């Protein structure tokens, strides 16, 4: 008993200690201590009994103390230096911060690496558990990592991600299936029938959905999707789309148009096409997805599907605020629509044919566009 008391003197009892002692989720402890509904009477009594036994004392702060505000953690994977240059996630993060700030909620950003415990890391920064977590995208933050975060009982909103295995988690996503479908439909309407796709990593559900939309549009047009027209992305290649476009151009019958799963991939494709001595859109049409800032400044300007990046972040922030106010709110998946920005990189199939020789027989390589 003396040892236990001494240990408690060294380390104050936390909400997590109470939750473990009561055998309930962390969110239930928070609801009980803040006098909010959403907890059964039996569970409420379990929490109160644990509070009494552990002699838990809530930390009170003055209303003028900024730390008394609710705190939400934004968790996203740590990107490589090249990937970090992509403005897509920067706009999403800006939207999250703007939406939370409008609700007087503080945001803490955690860059996740495999093996991390983001809940513990954020607790170290705040001195307490965060009030919610917005978990963005996918990649290193795989299903297992998301499920570990959810298991803590902290309110969670997934951003540009969702779990096929669990429909009870709040999620905010772009309409990625429609992006793939409409971009491919645009090329079909121009008269293209041999259409390549620069696919993305299968670690991101958003990119998988874009591929699904692409294939659906082909099926609808009576065209069977071809594996040779969708070369896989090479792991670790810093220049997205470049090598995939080279492989498409090496085919005996290269495509007359290409749908790129992202604008960054389209930029790599532009470089490979230029190296081959071909012109966009005269020899080959290219359409992308995302509408990052550089897309309109390319030569020619890139036709692309506009994803509402800032609004994705703001909507996730609003979903988190609603979850804070009403923890029992039924889970939902909010889908934000986009549209095609028609520019100069797509046109009906031209008379020019792509060279049938190998890439090594084409013009000397030029410096690839960094991504």
Helix 15-22 to helix 41-54 angle (10° resolution) is 120
> What's residue 2's pLDDT?
39
> What's residue 86's pLDDT?
64
- Tokens in use for 95? 């939207």
Tell me, what DSSP letter sits at residue 302?
P
> What's residue 166's pLDDT?
67
Q: Are 149 and 118 in contact (CB under 8 A)?
A: yes
How many C-beta neighbours within 10 Å does residue 126 have? 14
- Tokens in use for 167? 């429909």
* pLDDT greater at residue 65 or residue 276: 276
Terminus-to-terminus CA distance in the chain, angstroms? 60
d(CA 97, CA 266): 29
Q: Is the pLDDT of residue 168 over 70?
A: yes
Q: Are 141 and 112 in contact (CB under 8 A)?
A: yes
> What's residue 178's pLDDT?
97
Q: Is the pLDDT of residue 235 over 80?
A: no
d(CA 109, CA 85): 17
- Tokens in use for 250? 């090496």
Least confident range of 24-28, 88-92, 202-206: 24-28
Question: What's the whole-model pTM score?
Answer: 0.75
> What's residue 320's pLDDT?
93
> What's residue 60's pLDDT?
43
d(CA 38, CA 32): 9
- Tokens in use for 304? 């692309």
For residue 107, CA distances in Å to 43, 52, 102, 162, 171 come to: 30, 32, 11, 21, 18
Counting residues of the chain whose pLDDT is more than 90, the rounded percentage is 50
The band of 371, judged by pLDDT with boundaries at 50, 70 and 90, is very low
Q: Is the pLDDT of residue 362 over 70?
A: no
Q: Is the pLDDT of residue 188 over 50?
A: yes
The mean pLDDT value for 44-69 works out to: 65
The pLDDT tens digits of the residues spanning 114-132 come to 888 888 888 877 778 889 9
Mean pLDDT of the chain: 83
The pLDDT tens digits of the residues spanning 60-113 come to 444 444 556 789 999 998 865 555 566 788 889 899 999 999 999 999 988 898
> What's residue 134's pLDDT?
96
Distance of CA 121 to the CA centre of its chain: 21
Counting residues of the chain whose pLDDT is more than 70, the rounded percentage is 82
Give the domains, in start order, of the chain with CATH numbers.
2-54 (1.10.260.40), 69-174+309-337 (3.40.50.2300), 176-307+341-361 (3.40.50.2300)
Q: Is the pLDDT of residue 358 over 50?
A: no
Q: Is the pLDDT of residue 137 over 80?
A: yes
């Amino acid at each position: 008993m003396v040892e236990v008391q001494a240990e408690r003197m060294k380390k104050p009892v936390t909400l997590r200690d109470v939750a473990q002692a009561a055998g309930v989720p962390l969110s239930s402890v928070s609801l009980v201590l803040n006098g909010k509904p959403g907890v059964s009477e039996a569970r409420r009594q379990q929490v109160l009994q644990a509070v009494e036994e552990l002699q838990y004392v809530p930390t009170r702060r003055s209303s003028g103390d900024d730390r008394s505000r609710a705190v939400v953690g934004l968790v996203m994977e740590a990107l490589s230096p090249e990937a970090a240059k992509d403005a897509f996630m920067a706009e999403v993060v800006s939207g999250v911060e703007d939406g939370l700030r409008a609700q007087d909620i503080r945001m803490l950003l955690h860059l996740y690496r495999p093996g991390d415990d983001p809940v513990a890391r954020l607790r170290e920064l705040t001195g307490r558990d965060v009030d919610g977590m917005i978990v963005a995208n996918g990649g290193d933050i795989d299903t297992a990592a998301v499920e570990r975060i959810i298991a803590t009982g902290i309110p969670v909103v997934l951003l540009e991600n969702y779990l096929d295995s669990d429909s009870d988690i709040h999620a905010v996503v772009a309409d990625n299936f429609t992006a793939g479908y409409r971009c491919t439909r645009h090329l079909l309407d121009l008269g293209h029938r041999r259409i390549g796709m620069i696919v993305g990593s299968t670690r991101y559900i958003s990119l998988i959905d874009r591929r699904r939309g692409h294939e659906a549009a082909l099926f609808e047009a009576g065209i069977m999707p071809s594996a040779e027209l969708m070369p896989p992305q090479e792991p670790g290649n810093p220049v997205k789309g470049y090598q995939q476009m080279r492989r498409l151009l090496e085919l005996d019958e290269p495509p007359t148009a290409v749908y790129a799963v992202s604008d960054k991939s389209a930029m790599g494709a532009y470089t490979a096409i230029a190296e081959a001595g071909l012109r966009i859109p005269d020899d080959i049409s290219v359409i992308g997805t995302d509408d990052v800032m550089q897309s309109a400044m390319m030569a020619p300007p890139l036709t692309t599907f506009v994803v509402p990046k800032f609004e994705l972040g703001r909507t996730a922030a609003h979903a988190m605020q609603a979850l804070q106010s009403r923890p029992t709110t039924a889970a939902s998946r909010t889908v934000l629509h986009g549209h095609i920005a028609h520019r100069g990189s797509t046109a009906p199939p031209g008379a020019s044919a792509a060279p049938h020789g190998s890439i090594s027989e084409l013009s000397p390589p030029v410096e690839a566009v960094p991504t």
